[in-house]
Structure 1
């Protein structure tokens, strides 16, 4: 009798612990019934929907839009009114079929007559200024036989003027040679009225400075050389310092092979870049 009582007590305990599932199932069923009733009671008023749709459509048709020079929307939603008639009226080129797309690479009369934005005007003015500067410097180099000392190139960042260290400095020094003054003065006269920033960068080869050098390393030497050119523009030519910046890069940006004498000579340079302030 004692064993039967124990087994019966265990089964009763298990049944008591699982009774919450019945309540949970009832709750889920009631929630389902509730949402079914709510869905059945909902009803879309198609009449009101049509009124709202027609009102919005009329509003957009009657209003002006900032698109297409403020001409607004046409008689049908999505149709834009333009000042020029469509291409399928009289005067259309018969060689162009209905399914042929226009040639996107060919300028149209509308493109020629379209006024330029203020930014486009500034960009064109900047490019014309750089082109004129390029032509003047190139002519100066040819007239003075400086092709082996000064190099000019149009790069993405701006107009780059590269001066060899032999033209500007004595070996291992940062003081300007007297012979460099006429060329730097010519450049200063061209920079005086520029509306952009001029960057001056000093570069060296990878040969360390000598033990008796006045400079700690190539970083200091390259920076002092760039600073010497900058001070000539500011102190001697009295240019506005707001239009300049300078830096020294030592041997970190070589343009030649540092394992050869010609390459090292090419790397010892000062680059003066008239920066582009605007991009197309």
Structure 2
């Protein structure tokens, strides 16, 4: 038994000597597969290649080329689509150019000849209405020597009419002065036929109301002043309430310097703005 086991022990190392051949055989197999693939790829089917080439050529020739007079795969000129027309139409007299009646290159009518859309018509009508309003109010201020009490300006949001608090109210009060009635009636006559909204805003300086004041603070005072003007238009002049809006902003939107008397006087105001409701 001992001899047999020794013989088996000597033969076991011999079983591992040929295992490298397995790896070698795998490597040879992979190399063979690699060369078969390479050989297969080297034999190009000319018929299929022609079909693919023709298909790509047709695709490029029929698409819109970004290059002027670009070429397709086959070397033929592709179609060129440009936004601007050629500088000279074939058959046109070279002497004709800009400024001549028949020198239009696009063949399309001018923008002035294009009919306006409904919105453009409304916008032009609104702008004309606001311009007329601006001119009438400006003339009224000049005729009545109110340049220091009423200011009118054409702003992006609309025609702004600023009235000084001295013209409308007593100090710390929100009841309208009787002297303000003719001017407010004039404005009402201009607002009566407007097709837009009129915004009325009350503003104050930053000085707090007195301890014995009727109103709690500047917020309440500014809101009541704007409301007094609105009530005049609605109750006295019988204007349509759907065409108005009002708000009080206290001292949050100053136009002057609150550290000076002149600046504070400028901030105490009521702004009436005829709003632009259409944009170009």
Deviates more, 1:113-122 or 1:191-200: 113-122
Separation in structure 2 between the aligned mates of residue 90 and residue 117 of structure 1, nearest angstrom? 37
Written as runs of structure 1 = structure 2, the 5 A alignment for 1:86-97 is: 89-93=94-98
Q: Give 1:210's aligned residue.
A: 210
Q: Give 1:194's aligned residue.
A: 194
Q: Give 2:81's aligned residue.
A: 78
Q: Give 1:255's aligned residue.
A: 255
Separation in structure 2 between the aligned mates of residue 178 and residue 214 of structure 1, nearest angstrom? 20
In structure 2, relative to structure 1, the CA distance for the partners of 1:270 and 1:56 (3 Å cut) is: same
Confirm whether residue 142 of structure 1 aligns to residue 145 of structure 2.
no
Secondary structure of 1:247's aligned partner: strand
TM-score, length-scaled by structure 1: 0.67
Post-superposition offset of 1:53: 5.6
The answer on whether the counterparts of 2:208 and 2:217 sit within 8 Å (CA) in structure 1 is yes
Q: Who wins on radius of gyration, i.e. which is larger?
A: 2
Separation in structure 1 between the aligned mates of residue 113 and residue 93 of structure 2, nearest angstrom? 21
Separation in structure 2 between the aligned mates of residue 177 and residue 79 of structure 1, nearest angstrom? 69
Q: Give 2:274's aligned residue.
A: 274
Post-superposition offset of 1:209: 0.5
Q: Give 2:162's aligned residue.
A: 162
Post-superposition offset of 1:208: 0.7
Q: Give 2:245's aligned residue.
A: 245
Separation in structure 1 between the aligned mates of residue 63 and residue 185 of structure 2, nearest angstrom? 69
Separation in structure 2 between the aligned mates of residue 251 and residue 81 of structure 1, nearest angstrom? 56
In structure 2, relative to structure 1, the CA distance for the partners of 1:91 and 1:231 (3 Å cut) is: same
Q: CA RMSD in A?
A: 3.5
Separation in structure 1 between the aligned mates of residue 83 and residue 256 of structure 2, nearest angstrom? 59
Confirm whether residue 176 of structure 1 aligns to residue 176 of structure 2.
yes
Separation in structure 2 between the aligned mates of residue 182 and residue 204 of structure 1, nearest angstrom? 24
In structure 2, relative to structure 1, the CA distance for the partners of 1:222 and 1:55 (3 Å cut) is: same
Secondary structure of 1:194's aligned partner: coil
Confirm whether residue 128 of structure 1 aligns to residue 128 of structure 2.
yes
In structure 2, relative to structure 1, the CA distance for the partners of 1:80 and 1:138 (3 Å cut) is: closer
In structure 2, relative to structure 1, the CA distance for the partners of 1:139 and 1:79 (3 Å cut) is: same
In structure 2, relative to structure 1, the CA distance for the partners of 1:80 and 1:165 (3 Å cut) is: closer
Separation in structure 2 between the aligned mates of residue 81 and residue 262 of structure 1, nearest angstrom? 59
Post-superposition offset of 1:139: 1.0
Separation in structure 1 between the aligned mates of residue 246 and residue 143 of structure 2, nearest angstrom? 29
Post-superposition offset of 1:92: 1.3
Secondary structure of 2:242's aligned partner: helix
TM-score, length-scaled by structure 2: 0.67
Q: Structure 1 unaligned segments of length 5 or more: list them.
A: 1-21, 58-74, 95-108
Separation in structure 1 between the aligned mates of residue 120 and residue 232 of structure 2, nearest angstrom? 35
Separation in structure 2 between the aligned mates of residue 232 and residue 276 of structure 1, nearest angstrom? 23
In structure 2, relative to structure 1, the CA distance for the partners of 1:54 and 1:122 (3 Å cut) is: same
In structure 2, relative to structure 1, the CA distance for the partners of 1:197 and 1:47 (3 Å cut) is: same
Secondary structure of 1:220's aligned partner: helix
User: CA deviation digits over 1:36-61, x for unaligned, max 9?
Assistant: 89x9599662233445566778xxxx
